[in-house]
Amino acid sequence: MKNFLITGGAGFIGSALVRFLINETEHTVVVVDKLSYAGNLSSLACVTENPRFKFERVDICDRAALDSVFSQHQPDCVMHLAAETHVDRSIDGPIAFIETNIVGTYQLLEAARHYWNALTGDRKKNFLFHHISTDEVFGDLDDTSAFFTEDTPYAPSSPYSATKASSDHLVRAWLRTYGLPVIVTNCSNNYGPYHFPEKLIPLTIINALAGKSLPVYGNGQQVRDWLYVEDHARALYTVVTRGKTGETYNIGGHNERQNIEVVETICCLLEELAPERKLTGLHNYKDLIRYVTDRPGHDQRYAIDARKIERELGWTPLETFESGMRKTVSWFLDNATWWQAILNDRYDGERLGLKK
């Protein structure tokens, strides 16, 4: 049994990881999350009563609070997911991304380093800092046959990806300079249950059910590799239990799709799974699709080469795009109380046309 400290554990990917650790392992989990607009404890409702689960409402920019968490809970492994992640928000207000993704990562690294330095014996030898990052740090791919590898040079395009790239560099510097044992993973676009409503897939599902327009940037031909979030959680656990300190592992779903294909897939699934919820007078959910002005600096294509994690650690995704999307749409249909509470109480849904 180990004690895992998960930053951002009330977020989308973080909560999937926490649910996996509590439900599928015997480890103890300490969640550190400041519960910003995207942090949601209801995503952890199924595990909060478990005696192996603990929660600390802490901002990773608060060094004193972090030191207290490390001292009190004595983690064996830190898995760092706390981050501002939405590209559109980073364009509108980059300062929050700089504070959380860069300054917050620095504060967490320093807290972890000083805690690790005080450890002895096997506890010091086996300690690990796992930094979870994104494929967006690599920029985009012009060659339709190319893929991001662990050695692809960084070329971030947005304030979000630039701050994540910065945090990646900090983590590797703390390994090189101070010897802090770290691993970095870079993942492709995640989707699945508990996905925050402003992201493409949940936004499309929720807007369609409300009879709202389904916005698609530019020509909709931007390509992303889609990774089911529960596959990602399993990959992250594989990395911390089998991975090699100092290494980087790319995690992808092997599911490249154009954005317009993603939206059309959702519409087709809704036609099948929720025809009775289609608003009167609407012939087909696809009729709601509207092309809108592309966002500044929009990357055209991301694609992950995940052969290293498969070859060295034995991980491959279990879900195809078709099976994962069916599970995702079904979950949002069956759990309207979860996302409706966010729209009504915790989020400015008016900005995205999600509230009447």
pLDDT per position as a tens digit, 208-239: 999 999 999 999 999 999 999 999 999 999 99
pLDDT in tens, 66-97: 999 999 999 999 999 999 988 989 999 999 99
Q: What is the mean pLDDT of residues 245-261?
A: 97
According to CATH, the superfamily of the domain at 3-195+226-258+298-321 is: NAD(P)-binding Rossmann-like Domain (3.40.50.720)
Counting Cα atoms < 13 Å in the Cβ hemisphere of 354 gives 23
Which is the catalytic residue, given 33, 56, 59, 135?
135
Residue 137 token pair: 């740090």
Residues counted in the chain: 356
What separation in angstroms does the CA of 271 have from each of 77, 180, 194, 279, 289? 44, 51, 22, 12, 14
Model confidence at 352: pLDDT above 80: no
The CA distance from 245 to 130, in Å, is 9
Assess contact for 70 and 57: CB atoms under 8 A.
no
Residue 116 token pair: 């690790």
Cβ neighbours of residue 189 under 8 Å, at least 6 residues apart? 224, 225, 226, 227, 302
Q: What percent of the chain has pLDDT over 90?
A: 89
Active site residue 136: yes
Cβ neighbours of residue 35 under 8 Å, at least 6 residues apart? 10, 41, 57
Model confidence at 247: pLDDT above 60: yes
Model confidence at 355: pLDDT above 50: no
Predicted model pTM: 0.94
Model confidence at 349: pLDDT above 50: no
What pLDDT shows up at residue 346? 53
Lowest mean pLDDT among 35-44, 98-107, 139-148, 316-325: 139-148
Q: Residue 307 belongs to what H/E stretch?
A: helix 307-313
Q: Which residue has the tokens 């740090």?
A: 137
Between 335 and 143, the higher pLDDT residue:
335
Model confidence at 287: pLDDT above 90: yes
Which is the catalytic residue, given 76, 84, 140, 160?
160
- In this prediction, residue 144 has a pLDDT band, given cuts at 50, 70 and 90, of confident
Residue 345 token pair: 């109480």
Active site residue 302: no
The CA distance from 269 to 329, in Å, is 7
The CA distance from 190 to 225, in Å, is 9
Between 31 and 143, the higher pLDDT residue:
31
- DSSP E strands in 127-222: the ranges are 128-134, 182-187, 189-191, 214-217
pLDDT in tens, 94-104: 999 999 999 99
Active site residue 135: yes
**Average pLDDT over the chain, rounded to whole?**
94
Assess contact for 304 and 169: CB atoms under 8 A.
no
pLDDT in tens, 289-340: 999 999 888 889 999 999 999 999 999 999 999 999 999 999 999 999 999 9
- Local structure of residue 154 (DSSP, 8 states): P
Which is the catalytic residue, given 33, 84, 136, 168?
136
Q: What is the mean pLDDT of residues 44-54?
A: 97
Model confidence at 356: pLDDT above 50: no
The CA distance from 96 to 108, in Å, is 16
Q: Which residue has the tokens 């030191």?
A: 67
What pLDDT shows up at residue 347? 53
- The residue type found at 28 is T
